[in-house]
């Protein structure tokens, strides 16, 4: 299976889960995004490395990196290899110089480590199809164009009561407003209907 390279686009606070964050990964050179809900500690570990903040003592992921460096273990790549029931699964592909090993990991930890080891994060097409969100092109006036705009249902309506057309419009609006967690919930409802 061909791997798709992912870049870290950003993080936003979860509106529905207290203490959780939406980590947004983007297809390198593409328009698809992969929102992943992660815990606060993992979000902090990722943010600290993204911002290159030096802590007085090593955090867990820094300790893991130091340990691996001291024993000549290299993290070659991270692969988000499975998506099941709304949960992403990842593998660390490591080498001790002689053998390549795959180690199961939580996706958030794998990405925190990928940042520290400066290695690439990948996924597969089937995961992008199942969990990815497509960002539409903006027109010259800066607004996203839609062939048949439809008013979204009233706020009291739940996703399962909306039509597919309404869901697609709500999905696009959520993406435009950078409400990636909401977008992932709408995406899941659309996928249930396929």
**Could you tell me if 110 and 173 lie in one domain?**
no
Phi-psi region of 165 (alpha: psi -120 to 50; beta: other; left: phi over 0): alpha
**Could you tell me if 18 and 113 lie in one domain?**
yes
**Could you tell me if 18 and 62 lie in one domain?**
yes
pLDDT in tens, 92-101: 999 999 999 9
Q: Furthest-apart CA pair in the chain: how many Å? A: 60
Give the number of domains in the chain: 2
**Could you tell me if 103 and 9 lie in one domain?**
yes
Percent of the chain with pLDDT over 90: 55
**Could you tell me if 112 and 175 lie in one domain?**
no
**Could you tell me if 80 and 158 lie in one domain?**
no
Tell me the pTM: 0.75
Q: Where a domain ends, among 80, 106, 131?
A: 131
**Could you tell me if 125 and 143 lie in one domain?**
no
Alpha-carbon distance 143 to 154, whole Å?
Answer: 23
Confidence tier at 134 by pLDDT (50, 70, 90)? confident
- The answer to whether the CB of 32 falls within 8 A of the CB of 180 is no
Alpha-carbon distance 158 to 103, whole Å?
Answer: 39
Q: How many CA atoms lie within 13 A of 114 on its CB side?
A: 25
CA-based Rg of the chain, rounded to a whole angstrom?
19
**Residue 31: which CATH number?**
3.10.690.10
**Could you tell me if 96 and 173 lie in one domain?**
no
Out of 5-9, 27-31, 178-182, which region has the weakest mean confidence (pLDDT)? 178-182
pLDDT of the residue at 182: 80
**Could you tell me if 58 and 9 lie in one domain?**
yes
Question: Residue 79: which residues within 8 A CB-CB, separation 6 or more?
Answer: 3, 90, 91, 93, 121, 122, 123, 124
Full domain range(s) for residue 159: 137-192
Q: Where a domain ends, among 107, 131, 155?
A: 131
pLDDT in tens, 49-97: 999 888 899 999 999 999 999 999 999 999 999 999 889 999 999 999 9
């Amino acid at each position: 299976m061909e791997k798709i390279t992912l870049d870290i686009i950003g993080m936003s606070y979860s509106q529905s889960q207290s203490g959780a964050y939406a980590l947004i990964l983007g297809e390198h050179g593409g328009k698809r995004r992969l929102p992943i809900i992660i815990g606060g500690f993992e979000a902090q570990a990722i943010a600290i490395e993204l911002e290159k903040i030096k802590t007085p003592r090593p955090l867990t992921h820094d300790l893991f990196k130091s340990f691996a460096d001291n024993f000549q273990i290299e993290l070659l790549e991270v692969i988000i290899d499975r998506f099941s029931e709304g949960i992403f699964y990842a593998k660390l592909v490591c080498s001790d110089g002689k053998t390549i090993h795959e180690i199961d990991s939580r996706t958030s930890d794998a990405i925190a480590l990928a940042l520290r080891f400066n290695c690439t994060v990948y996924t597969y097409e089937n995961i992008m199809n199942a969990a990815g969100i497509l960002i539409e092109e903006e027109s010259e006036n800066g607004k996203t164009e839609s062939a048949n705009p439809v008013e979204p249902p009233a706020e009291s309506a739940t996703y399962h009561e909306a039509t597919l057309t309404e869901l697609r419009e709500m999905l696009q609006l959520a993406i435009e407003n950078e409400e990636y967690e909401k977008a992932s919930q709408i995406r899941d409802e659309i996928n249930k209907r396929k």
